[in-house]
């Protein structure tokens, strides 16, 4: 099955080409050309997430360099951590996506992409590849997940670009503590600047002549497509338990996670409503309300991994649901400001003993704001995108207790850190990449 660009439908690529390129040559984003009709009963028989993910992705690998056997090995290697679906109330669940090495959902996509590209490198060159430089812009969690997934993998260099001073101290530590084949660039600018720099670098003829470049942002199809598998897994499990399709509330920034859920629904999985929970960066909620899309500069909030003023995957969502009316039917969105995030974190702890990260708290708040009639039509799933201990500066004071780091993060926090300062202009990034 082919993939095509969101811009020019004549720009096509196989799955493995789309993974290797990141951005399509016309500046668009790759999307699957069509959606296979899945045998849901067969999908539901998968014993675990790796098996289900391999079956879900198999139609995309048919006839591709990345064959169905490789896919099974890749999903087994990438998804080697638990995916708990924790009941909170009779028809309400928490989908904990934060049990991977960097304690955020981005481990799923980053680990899949790394395992896939490593195999593709071997297929293409019989083991003697020239190194592939992976560029990644991060508002906090992406950089760590990508760095962890590619750290010390032969044949790969990683350049992480993060906005200086705009990620949490804990996140900054994590981003800058890898070393080896991972370089961290502290960009004097916003996340949007970092994202723009990556896009410019990927299209820069001078750089492309000297380096093999790819992107590991959620613009890379290899990050998004495997994420659809956990929506498939959760929705099938809930349909078994409740004999009804599940609805999801998704903390959203660049809309990668949301897009994966919409794709799973388009592929026929039993998914009912999709609610996007945004922070004060409200381009999408405002668009749904007014019909005018007005991208803006991103605003710093407590849920910093969602500080996106112009979500890059909106292009993919629009390709899936081209008209405003269709989009309004497909999803709803709400905006949660910092005060509401704080009170939600406090209330969940005080009333239920639950500890949510600021992003997951936006989902809990968005759910609480739904009309009672909608909430009553479960099952509902709050998508938990990060472990609360990734944000101790915010969460600990609100609940007046210390948070314990998951072991993988604790190990990382013992390493020394290093970053390189960068102005938000392509010339600086180009020079830095060519210097090494």
Does residue 268 contact residue 239 with C-beta atoms inside 8 Å?
A: no
CB of 185 to ligand PLP, least distance (A): 19
For helices 169-176 and 141-150, angle between their N-to-C axes, nearest 10 degrees: 20
CB of 378 to ligand PLP, least distance (A): 23
Q: 38 or 112, CB closer to ligand PLP? A: 112
CB of 362 to ligand PLP, least distance (A): 8
CB of 121 to ligand PLP, least distance (A): 26
- List beta partners, residue 333: 276
Q: 106 or 282, CB closer to ligand PLP? A: 106
CB of 258 to ligand PLP, least distance (A): 6
Q: 2 or 286, CB closer to ligand PLP? A: 286
Does residue 192 contact residue 309 with C-beta atoms inside 8 Å?
A: yes
CA torsion, points 280, 219, 251, 305, in degrees to nearest 10?
-60
CB of 253 to ligand PLP, least distance (A): 4
Rounded Cα gap, residues 324 and 329, in angstroms: 9
CB of 1 to ligand PLP, least distance (A): 23
Locus of tokens 């082919």: 2
Does residue 248 contact residue 261 with C-beta atoms inside 8 Å?
A: yes
CA-nearest of 222, 216, 215 to 57 is: 222
Does residue 1 contact residue 32 with C-beta atoms inside 8 Å?
A: yes
CA-nearest of 190, 388, 184 to 301 is: 190
List the 85-89 sheet strands across, edge first.
85-89, 92-96, 380-384, 246-251, 271-278, 332-335
CB of 277 to ligand PLP, least distance (A): 9
Q: How many CB atoms lie within 10 A of CB 80?
A: 12
Q: 61 or 225, CB closer to ligand PLP? A: 225
Q: 141 or 239, CB closer to ligand PLP? A: 141
Q: How many CB atoms lie within 10 A of CB 402?
A: 10
- What are the residues binding ligand PLP (CB under 6 A)? 104, 106, 141, 218, 251-258, 305-306, 359, 385-386
Q: 387 or 430, CB closer to ligand PLP? A: 387
Rounded Cα gap, residues 83 and 85, in angstroms: 7
Q: 104 or 225, CB closer to ligand PLP? A: 104
Rounded Cα gap, residues 413 and 425, in angstroms: 30
Q: 14 or 171, CB closer to ligand PLP? A: 171
Q: 250 or 269, CB closer to ligand PLP? A: 250
DSSP state letters, 89-132: ETTEEEEE---STTSBTHHHHHHHHHHHHHHHHHHHHTT-PPPE
CB of 276 to ligand PLP, least distance (A): 8
């Amino acid at each position: 099955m082919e993939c095509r660009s969101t811009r020019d439908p004549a720009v096509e690529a196989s799955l493995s080409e789309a993974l290797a390129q990141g951005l399509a040559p016309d500046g668009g984003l790759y999307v699957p050309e069509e959606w296979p009709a899945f045998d849901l009963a067969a999908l539901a028989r998968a014993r675990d997430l790796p098996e289900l993910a391999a079956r879900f992705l198999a139609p995309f690998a048919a006839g591709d360099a990345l064959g169905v056997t490789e896919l099974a090995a890749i999903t087994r290697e990438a998804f080697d951590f638990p995916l708990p679906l924790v009941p909170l109330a009779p028809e309400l669940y928490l989908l904990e996506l934060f049990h991977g090495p960097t304690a955020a959902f981005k481990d799923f996509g980053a680990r899949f992409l790394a395992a896939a590209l490593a195999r593709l490198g071997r297929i293409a060159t019989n083991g003697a590849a020239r190194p592939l430089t992976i560029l990644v812009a991060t508002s906090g969690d992406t950089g760590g997940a990508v760095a962890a997934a590619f750290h010390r993998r032969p044949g790969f260099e990683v350049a992480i670009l993060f906005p200086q001073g705009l990620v949490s101290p804990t996140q900054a530590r994590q981003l800058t503590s890898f070393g080896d084949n991972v370089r961290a660039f502290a960009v004097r600018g916003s996340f949007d600047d970092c994202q723009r720099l990556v896009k410019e670098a990927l299209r820069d003829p001078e750089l492309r002549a000297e380096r093999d470049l790819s992107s590991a942002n959620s613009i890379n199809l290899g990050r998004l497509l495997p994420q659809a598998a956990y929506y498939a897994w959760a929705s099938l499990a809930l349909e078994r338990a409740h004999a009804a399709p599940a609805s999801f509330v998704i903390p959203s920034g660049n809309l990668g996670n949301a897009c994966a859920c919409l794709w799973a629904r388009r592929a026929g999985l039993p998914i009912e409503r999709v609610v996007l929970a945004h922070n004060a960066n409200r381009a999408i909620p405002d668009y749904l309300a007014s019909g005018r899309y007005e991208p803006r500069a991103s605003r710093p909030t407590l849920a910093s991994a969602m500080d996106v003023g112009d979500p890059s995957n909106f292009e993919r969502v629009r390709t899936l649901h081209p008209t405003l009316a269709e989009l309004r039917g497909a999803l709803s969105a709400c905006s949660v400001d910092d005060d509401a995030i704080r009170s939600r974190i406090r209330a969940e702890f005080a009333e239920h003993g639950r500890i949510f990260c600021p992003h997951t708290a936006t989902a809990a708040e968005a759910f609480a704001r739904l009309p009672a009639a909608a909430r009553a039509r479960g099952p509902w799933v709050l998508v938990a995108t990060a472990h609360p201990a990734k944000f101790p500066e915010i969460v600990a004071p609100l609940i007046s207790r210390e948070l314990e780091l998951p072991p993988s993060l604790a190990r990382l926090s013992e390493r020394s850190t290093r970053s390189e300062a960068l102005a938000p202009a392509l010339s600086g990034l180009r020079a830095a990449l060519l210097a090494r």
